[in-house]
Amino acid sequence: MAPFRKRSKSCPFLSQEFLIQNHADIVSCLVVLVLIGLMFE
């Protein structure tokens, strides 16, 4: 199933996957910051 991910259009797919991964990391960081803010309040 791994090779199926590799398609002829790798540039756009790679950028989209990278953005999605970064978005997940940013969201997790934001959640942690919000939780800390709520605890401090």
Q: What is the pLDDT of residues 1-41, one digit of tens each?
A: 445 555 555 555 556 777 777 777 878 889 999 999 999 88
Residue 10 region by backbone torsions, left for phi larger than 0, else alpha for psi between -120 and 50, else beta: alpha
Joined together, the tokens standing for residue 6 give 């590799």
* pTM of full prediction above 0.75: no
Specify the 3-state DSSP secondary structure of 2: helix
